[in-house]
């Protein structure tokens, strides 16, 4: 086996020295306060059995799709799946991608073009950043959730902008758990003929069809990205928008065109998850929201106010500066039986390292109380 190039080896050593070296580990046997499986759908028996039923009904007992969707992989579950997704989210059309990463890279590398401008929240997900990096458009970041800063940066450049303007943010941010003022953003974009793009990965399911649909803003949004690997407990993603946008992505989005399509079982599981979300899953949403209210009541107690970031979502962050320090805190919680993962710099800014706590419908109040007892030992 040949050796690594010197600069790659140095990058690994530097990451180890900074306490940010990543390893793969199991969380078996620990109480789940870490996964994105907010509603417990990943292990739901009904979804599992319903997926199998859908495959049998469509005579799709296959292990894979056999090709990209533009070749041989466009099996018969995609059309009803995309129709179901579009209707649920109150969108005109939906296009399924293999993952949220693929959807964001495929969208942003294909849609904004040369002469266009992308204004993006400074804390957007890495997949959006990577997609923007592949775009020929000019990209400018604005301060997190600061609509005033966004407006000022557009105002300064407005006379020099000849192309389209795209504004990009998330309805719930994955590392902080907070949300922007979506009504203000949507109104601003509509009044100025700008194109607003919202990643709803961590909102779908928790807010049923997402915050955009819940607030009735869908007609003002150019595109939404929804993912199935969070509250839906399955795999894949979709871009929601107009039928024309869907046609454009089919023709120009490279991550869609040049990827083997999702296997029939993956799409069947997505369909089953959406069916469950409209049925029994509603009770799981209410359980999750109750757990969020209970958790926030614990956070409001005096000893925790300074450590936690403000959040109304299922994501709550306990700030412990320093990679080594936050990793040690995570290990202490694991020893107490809790799976709570550390978020290290450079994923978050240095000095803002944190324990990222994810709540679920299946977490009990006793488990939450016990978690706070363990957290108190870290203060």
When divided into structural domains, the chain yields a total of 2
Q: C-alpha angle 135/270/343, rounded to 5°?
A: 60
Residue 55 lies in a domain: yes
User: Which residues face 315 on adjacent strands?
Assistant: 358
Residues 167, 215, single domain; the answer is yes
Question: 168: Cβ–Cβ under 8 A, 6 or more apart, which residues?
Answer: 108, 118, 119, 120, 121, 124, 128, 132, 197, 198, 199
Query: Which of the listed residues 235, 258, 278 is the one where a domain comes to its end?
Result: 278
pLDDT digits (tens, 9 = 90+) for 162-207: 899 999 999 999 999 999 999 999 999 999 999 999 999 999 988 9
Residue 127 included in any domain: yes
What's the CATH code of the domain at 31? Answer: 3.90.1150.10
CB-based burial label for 43 (10 Å; 0-12, 13-18, 19+): exposed
Q: Quick one: pLDDT at residue 112? A: 98
Question: Which string of DSSP letters, residue by residue, matches 127-149?
Answer: HHHHHHHTSSSEEEEE-TT-HHH
Structure tokens given for 35: 């996964």
Measured distance CA(318)–CA(357) in Å, rounded = 8
Under 8 Å CB-to-CB from 2, ≥6 apart: which residues? none
Q: Which of 258, 278, 298 represents a domain boundary (last residue)?
A: 278
Angle 291-297-303 (CA atoms, 0-180°, nearest 5)? 130
By residue count, the chain amounts to 379
Closest CA to 347 of 18, 25, 4, 12: 18
Q: Token pair of 133, please?
A: 């990096």
Residue 146 clears pLDDT 80, i.e. is over it: yes
Alpha-carbon span 169 to 198, nearest angstrom: 5
Q: Is the pLDDT confidence value at 160 over 80?
A: no
Domain residues for the domain of 297 are 20-38+280-376
For residue 305, the model assigns a pLDDT of 79
Question: For the ranges 137-141, 159-163, 228-232, which has the lowest average pLDDT?
Answer: 159-163
Instruction: Decide: 190 and 179 in contact? Cβ < 8 Å.
Output: no
The last residue of one of the domains, among 224, 248, 278, is: 278
The string of pLDDT tens digits covering residues 261-304 is 999 999 999 999 999 999 989 999 999 999 999 999 999 886 78
Q: Within a domain: residue 12? A: no
Confidence of residue 26 (pLDDT cuts 50, 70, 90): confident
How far CA 20 is from CA of 284, 289, 327, 331, 352, in Å, comes to: 35, 33, 9, 15, 13
Based on the fold, state whether residues 153 and 288 are members of the same structural domain. no
Quote the percentage of the chain above a pLDDT of 90.
Answer: 88
d(CA 91, CA 240): 6
- Interval 90-103 mean pLDDT: 98
pLDDT of residue 223: 98
Residue 11 placed within a domain: no
Answer yes or no: do 80 and 112 share one domain.
yes
pLDDT (average), residues 240-268? 98
Q: What is the CATH number of the domain that holds 112?
A: 3.40.640.10
Residue 319 and residue 173 share a domain: no
């Amino acid at each position: 086996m040949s050796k690594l190039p010197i600069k790659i080896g140095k990058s690994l050593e530097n990451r180890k020295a900074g306490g940010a070296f990543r390893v793969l580990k199991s969380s078996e046997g620990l109480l789940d306060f870490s996964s994105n499986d907010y509603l417990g759908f990943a292990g739901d028996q009904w979804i599992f059995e319903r997926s199998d039923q859908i495959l049998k009904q469509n005579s799709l007992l296959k292990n894979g799709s056999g090709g990209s969707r533009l070749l041989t992989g466009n099996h018969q579950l995609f059309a009803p799946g995309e129709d179901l997704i579009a209707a649920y989210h109150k969108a005109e059309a939906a296009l399924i991608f293999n993952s949220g990463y693929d959807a964001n890279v495929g969208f942003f590398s294909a849609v904004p073009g040369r002469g266009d401008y992308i204004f993006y929240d400074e804390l957007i997900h890495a997949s959006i950043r990577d997609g923007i990096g592949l775009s020929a458009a000019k990209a400018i970041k604005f301060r997190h959730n600061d609509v005033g800063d966004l407006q000022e940066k557009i105002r300064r450049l407005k006379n020099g902008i000849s192309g389209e303007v795209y504004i990009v943010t998330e309805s719930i941010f994955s590392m902080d758990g907070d949300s922007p003022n979506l009504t203000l953003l949507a109104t601003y974009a509509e009044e100025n003929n700008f194109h607003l793009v919202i990643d709803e990965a961590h909102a779908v399911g928790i807010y049923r069809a997402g915050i955009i649909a819940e607030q009735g803003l869908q007609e003002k949004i150019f595109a939404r990205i929804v993912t199935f690997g969070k509250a839906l407990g399955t795999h894949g993603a979709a871009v929601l928008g107009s039928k024309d946008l869907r046609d454009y992505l089919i023709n120009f989005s490279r991550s869609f065109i040049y990827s083997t399509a999702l296997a029939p079982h993956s799409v069947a599981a997505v369909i089953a998850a959406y069916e469950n979300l409209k049925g029994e899953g509603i009770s799981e949403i209410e359980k999750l929201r109750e757990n969020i209210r209970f958790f926030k009541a614990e956070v409001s107690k005096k000893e925790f106010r300074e450590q936690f970031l403000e959040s109304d979502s299922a994501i709550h962050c306990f700030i412990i500066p320093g990679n080594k320090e936050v990793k040690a805190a995570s290990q202490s919680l694991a020893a107490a039986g809790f799976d709570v993962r550390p978020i290290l710099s450079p994923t978050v800014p240095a000095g803002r390292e944190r324990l990222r706590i994810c709540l679920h419908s299946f977490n009990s109040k006793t488990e939450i109380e016990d978690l706070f007892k363990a957290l108190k030992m870290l203060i």
